[in-house]
C-alpha cells in the first residue's frame, strides 16, 4: 500500500537538519511520494532545492511554488517575474500555496485577492494546476477562481475544513479536495465525517500539512506533538472509516488522483532505485 502526501511544509524551520530522517520515516510508513509546499518566494526556492538535493532521481519529491495569503504583503512589482521563473522549474508541479485567509487577516483582504488573481493568471499562462488555501473566505475564493476556471487545468482546495455548502460549491466548480489530520480532531473536525462520502474518488487527495495538524487520534502520540508525513496513514484510516471503504482501496484511489493531478511518475519508477 503506497500513499502520496500532496502537502508537506518540509522547509519549516522545525525540520532543519533532519529532513532525511523525516523522509525515511515517511517512506518506511508507505508514503512513497511527497509534494513540498511553497508559501513564499524564498520558501518556494528552498522547496525546489530540497527536491534536487534529497531526490536526485526526480522520482519522489516535487514542489508547489507560490505566495501564501499571509505573505501577500511581500508582493511587489518584481514578484510575478520571479515566480514565473520558479514555476518553470521541472520539479514544480503546481502554483501555490495561494488563496484567501479571512480568518487571521494577516494581509489586507484586497491585497490577498490581487495576489491570488495574479497567481491564477500565471497558472493559466503556464497551464499548471493550483494549490489553494482558504479560511473563512469560500464565497470570495469561488468568485475569483470561477473567472479563471475554464482556462485552468485543475485546482485543489488544500486542507479543506469547511461546511457542506462550501464543499458542494467547490465540487460544482470541478475542484479537487485535500484532506488533512483536521479530520482526526474530535473537537473541530467531526463535521467533515459525513461530508467525506460526498467527495468523488477522482477528486480526493490526502496530505499531512506537516509539521502542522498532527492527527489527534494517533496512538501513541509522538513526543513534542509535531506532525510528520509518516503519520499520513492515520489520516487514511480516518477517511476510509467514514467513507466505508478499505484502506487499500482508498490509498489506491487517492494516490491515482494525486499522480494525475500533479503529473507524478509511477510508483514503480519512484521506488525502483531505492527500495
User: Is 68 within the bounds of a domain?
Assistant: yes
pLDDT band at 273 (very low <50, low <70, confident <90, very high): very low
Give the residue-averaged pLDDT of 115-126: 98
What are the tens digits of pLDDT across the range 37-56? 999 999 999 999 999 999 99
User: Is 257 within the bounds of a domain?
Assistant: yes
What are the tens digits of pLDDT across the range 217-229? 999 988 888 999 9
User: Is 27 within the bounds of a domain?
Assistant: yes
User: Is 60 within the bounds of a domain?
Assistant: yes
Output the CA angle 192-156-271, nearest 5 degrees: 100
Give the Cα separation of 232 and 208 in Å (integer).
6
User: Is 96 within the bounds of a domain?
Assistant: yes
Question: pTM here?
Answer: 0.95
User: Is 225 within the bounds of a domain?
Assistant: no
Give the residue-averaged pLDDT of 56-71: 97
**Residue 262: pLDDT above 70?**
yes
What are the tens digits of pLDDT across the range 160-218? 999 999 999 999 999 999 999 999 999 999 999 999 999 999 999 999 999 999 999 99
User: Is 138 within the bounds of a domain?
Assistant: yes
- CA neighbours closer than 13 Å in the CB half-sphere of residue 256: 9
**pLDDT of res. 251:** 98
> How many folded domains does the chain comprise?
1
User: Is 224 within the bounds of a domain?
Assistant: no
| CATH label of the domain that carries residue 77 | 3.20.20.140
Give the Cα separation of 200 and 203 in Å (integer).
5
Query: Residue 101 sits in which domain range?
Result: 3-219+231-272
Amino acid at each position: 500500500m503506497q500513499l502520496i502526501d500532496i502537502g508537506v511544509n518540509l522547509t519549516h524551520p522545525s525540520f532543519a537538519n533532519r529532513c532525511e530522517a523525516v523522509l525515511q520515516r515517511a517512506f518506511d510508513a508507505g508514503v512513497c511520494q511527497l509534494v513540498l509546499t511553497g508559501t513564499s518566494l524564498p520558501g518556494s526556492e528552498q522547496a525546489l532545492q530540497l527536491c534536487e538535493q534529497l531526490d536526485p532521481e526526480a522520482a519522489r519529491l516535487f514542489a508547489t511554488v507560490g505566495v501564501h495569503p499571509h505573505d501577500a504583503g511581500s508582493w511587489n512589482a518584481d514578484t510575478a517575474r520571479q515566480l514565473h521563473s520558479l514555476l518553470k522549474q521541472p520539479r514544480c508541479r503546481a502554483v501555490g500555496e495561494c488563496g484567501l485567509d479571512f480568518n487571521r487577516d494577516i494581509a489586507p483582504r484586497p491585497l490577498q485577492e490581487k495576489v491570488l488573481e495574479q497567481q491564477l493568471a500565471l497558472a493559466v499562462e503556464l497551464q499548471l494546476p493550483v494549490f489553494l488555501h482558504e479560511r473563512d473566505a469560500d464565497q470570495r475564493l469561488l468568485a475569483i477562481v470561477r473567472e479563471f476556471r475554464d482556462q485552468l487545468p485543475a485546482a485543489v482546495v488544500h486542507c479543506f475544513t469547511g461546511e457542506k455548502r462550501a464543499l458542494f460549491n467547490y465540487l460544482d466548480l470541478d475542484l479537487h479536495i485535500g484532506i488533512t489530520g483536521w479530520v482526526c480532531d474530535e473537537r473541530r473536525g467531526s463535521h467533515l465525517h459525513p461530508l467525506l462520502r460526498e467527495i468523488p474518488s477522482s477528486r480526493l487527495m490526502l496530505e499531512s500539512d506537516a509539521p502542522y495538524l498532527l492527527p489527534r487520534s494517533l496512538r501513541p502520540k509522538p513526543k513534542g506533538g509535531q506532525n510528520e508525513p509518516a503519520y499520513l496513514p492515520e489520516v487514511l484510516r480516518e477517511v476510509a472509516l467514514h467513507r466505508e471503504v478499505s484502506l487499500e482501496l482508498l490509498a489506491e484511489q487517492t494516490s491515482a488522483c494525486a499522480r494525475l493531478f500533479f503529473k507524478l511518475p509511477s510508483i514503480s519508477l519512484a521506488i525502483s532505485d531505492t527500495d
